[in-house]
Structure 1
Amino acid sequence: MSEREISITPDTSRLTETELHTYRKALQGEELPANEPGLASLLERAVLLPNTHQTGTYVPAHPGYLQTQLTTAVLNVLTEARDALAGIPAHVRELEAEQERFNHSPGPVGTLLLNSIPDVNAETIRTIQGAEFEILTSQPGYRKPRVLKGALPRDLQAAQRGVTVRTIYRTSGRSNSTQRDWVAVMTHAGAQVRTLGEDFLRLIIVDRKHAFFEVYGEDGAVQMETAAWYTQDRGVCALLAAHFHQQWERADPWVPEEGEGAAGPEEDTKTTKVQRTILRGIVAGKSYATIGQLLGYSERTVTSHVSTLREALGMNSVAQVTHWWATSPERLLP
């Protein structure tokens, strides 16, 4: 019997009203025609047995035997249901292979709008827990300590079972102590983390089959901060993964205690933290005014920091400074 043919009665052990009426007739010794409503099912389950001494009449099964027969009937239904459930994953894989064969973009979910933070959290947790080989995330905003601590066990479990985990944070996140702790634990488990000093999209991409991204309006601004789009469209997932890797290649590795093996302690470097942040902004194409807004400085203050560094390096132009910065190990510092 296949999945399509299985029909499970809510309570196989109980008689229907029709069957009970026929059962009572048999108990009273009435002769019953072969087409008596309910008689066939009573005989099939051995609730009634033919009276071998009088044709057309029937005798009830002994209660002990009856219990055994009804129990067996229910167990048979359960066994069929169990076998049908066990076959579902293989059946789904078979259909998925057929979809891929004909270049069909699977996605019974399509692109779904998750309207609230609980909905977003529930779906991302479920998807990340089911990751098979890769989790890509980019987090441009500030992540609250409780969010990071809550996500750590889930993220750590994925890394420990061999899933590739890559995360991009904003450069400013290097000063977040909770974020540094998350990075230390995750990189020790094999995850890779990088930082970027420019704007980028907030994304979660799992196995190139699932993607979560923010809801944007026509003006290019985030429209619903508590909502997210969830898609299983393979084309969209592939596009977002390509975007992630473009940003990944431009980002700087974040390795715990990276200064010890890269450029030494802060006092031995040629740049300060503020100057490094400014340089990352310049490389990203931001104006001095924009960089100043991000740092809370005036444009003149940003210009002063750049001039001070240029003079300390003995260079004549900002172009020379940015060229030096592109190959300097100091770009790996927070």
Structure 2
Amino acid sequence: MSERPSEPGVVYPVPPTAAAVSVFRPLKAQMDQYCRTERSLRAAFAQFDAVYDETRRQEEPAFTLLVGSTAIGDTLEAAVDACREELLTAQPGGGRPVEHLVEALDRDMRLLSRGTHQRTIYQHTVRAHQPTLAYIEQVVAAGAEVRTLAEVFERVIICDRKVAFIPVSDDRGAAALEVRHPAVVRFLAQTFDRDWARCIPVDEQSVAHRSPAVISDTQRTILQAIVAGETDESIARRLGMSRRSVAVHVRRVSEQLGSRSRGQLGYLIATSGVLDDNPG
């Protein structure tokens, strides 16, 4: 409806399409304003995105996959050479190959000579591996700390609590993950510290002799694994021992408890009370 100026108070019908124009005109103006505002904001955020993307490109990635022993070795050597305050390493699997020990000794002596604090966790079985013991003796004399544990959760190397290296699979030489995410590195370092508190130190007196505490810890872990139903092969892999050594332990316990089967042995261990007295 519309009203003529010459006839105030009198209205006449108009086409709905004409009426719609007058109704939608202010709405369209508002929509146009919103569209202009949207374009302006998008342009501003696009500039922020460019700055953000450029900053992220300059940052080191949180995770980097390293494939192959050469890439792993070169990256690890660079990280350790850059380490200034603290190097933490956990090395499962028992005694290490001689060629690895030669490389590690040269690298670690350089590290220790500049005052970097080094702590390393091995499994108890290295105490019977002469090449590893010779390496330990030299780094301990240079200021490193070495301790052993019956079971080490996994291999890890942490430099200054800023970058860590962990294996990607059981084949530790095939691929590794370089970790720089602060939360993940912090978690790995705290896990190391908890294991470190449970370890038995390796000093000059214990290098040549396996203490009763070490033997007891190893035996207890084997007995617990038997109760849990693990095979000799599985136990050997966890403890860095040979399957034959595990079999010897199992045979001795079987003879002591009078067991005639693996199932009976697990039951006798669990009910005999030998695991009740927690050492230490």
Alignment TM-score, normalising by the size of structure 2: 0.62
* Contiguous gaps of at least 5 residues in structure 2: 1-55, 237-244, 259-271
* 2:168 corresponding residue in structure 1: 215
* 1:100 corresponding residue in structure 2: none
CA distance in 1 between counterparts of 2:250 and 2:92 reads 27
CA distance in 1 between counterparts of 2:215 and 2:188 reads 32
| Pair 167,236 (structure 1): closer, same or farther in 2 beyond 3 Å | same
| Pair 259,229 (structure 1): closer, same or farther in 2 beyond 3 Å | closer
CA distance in 1 between counterparts of 2:203 and 2:68 reads 34
Deviation of the 1:273 alpha carbon? 7.9
CA distance in 2 between counterparts of 1:148 and 1:259 reads 16
CA distance in 2 between counterparts of 1:248 and 1:133 reads 18
* 1:123 corresponding residue in structure 2: 75
User: What is the DSSP-based 3-state SS (H/G/I as helix, E as strand, rest coil) of the residue aligned with 1:287?
Assistant: helix
Dislocated runs of 4+, deviation >3 Å: 271-276, 288-293, 304-308
Checking the alignment, whether the CA contact within 8 Å between 1:215 and 1:225 is kept in structure 2 is no
Which has a greater percent of helix?
A: 2
CA distance in 2 between counterparts of 1:206 and 1:290 reads 35
CA distance in 2 between counterparts of 1:317 and 1:203 reads 35
CA distance in 1 between counterparts of 2:130 and 2:207 reads 16
Deviation of the 1:236 alpha carbon? 1.1
* 2:189 corresponding residue in structure 1: 241
| Pair 160,305 (structure 1): closer, same or farther in 2 beyond 3 Å | farther
Checking the alignment, whether the CA contact within 8 Å between 1:109 and 1:232 is kept in structure 2 is yes
Checking the alignment, whether the CA contact within 8 Å between 1:197 and 1:281 is kept in structure 2 is no
* 1:200 corresponding residue in structure 2: 153
Deviation of the 1:199 alpha carbon? 4.0
Deviation of the 1:210 alpha carbon? 0.7
Please give the root-mean-square deviation of Cα atoms over the aligned residues, in Å.
Answer: 3.1
Count of residues in correspondence between the two structures: 199
User: What is the DSSP-based 3-state SS (H/G/I as helix, E as strand, rest coil) of the residue aligned with 2:118?
Assistant: strand
Deviation of the 1:212 alpha carbon? 0.3
Q: Which amino acid counterpart does residue 297 of structure 1 have in structure 2?
A: A
Checking the alignment, whether the CA contact within 8 Å between 1:168 and 1:193 is kept in structure 2 is yes
CA distance in 1 between counterparts of 2:164 and 2:197 reads 20
Match of 1:113 among 56, 59, 65: 65
| Pair 297,155 (structure 1): closer, same or farther in 2 beyond 3 Å | same
What percentage of aligned pairs have identical amino acids?
26
Deviation of the 1:299 alpha carbon? 7.9
Could you say which structure has the greater relative contact order, defined with CA pairs below 8 angstroms and 6 or more residues apart?
A: 2
User: What is the DSSP-based 3-state SS (H/G/I as helix, E as strand, rest coil) of the residue aligned with 2:204?
Assistant: coil
Q: What does 1:62-211 align with in structure 2 at a 5 Å threshold? A: 107-141=59-93, 142-211=95-164
User: What is the DSSP-based 3-state SS (H/G/I as helix, E as strand, rest coil) of the residue aligned with 1:137?
Assistant: strand
Match of 1:318 among 264, 270, 274: 274
Alignment TM-score, normalising by the size of structure 1: 0.53
User: What is the DSSP-based 3-state SS (H/G/I as helix, E as strand, rest coil) of the residue aligned with 2:122?
Assistant: strand
User: What is the DSSP-based 3-state SS (H/G/I as helix, E as strand, rest coil) of the residue aligned with 1:318?
Assistant: coil
* Contiguous gaps of at least 5 residues in structure 1: 1-103, 217-221, 309-315, 328-334
Checking the alignment, whether the CA contact within 8 Å between 1:107 and 1:233 is kept in structure 2 is no
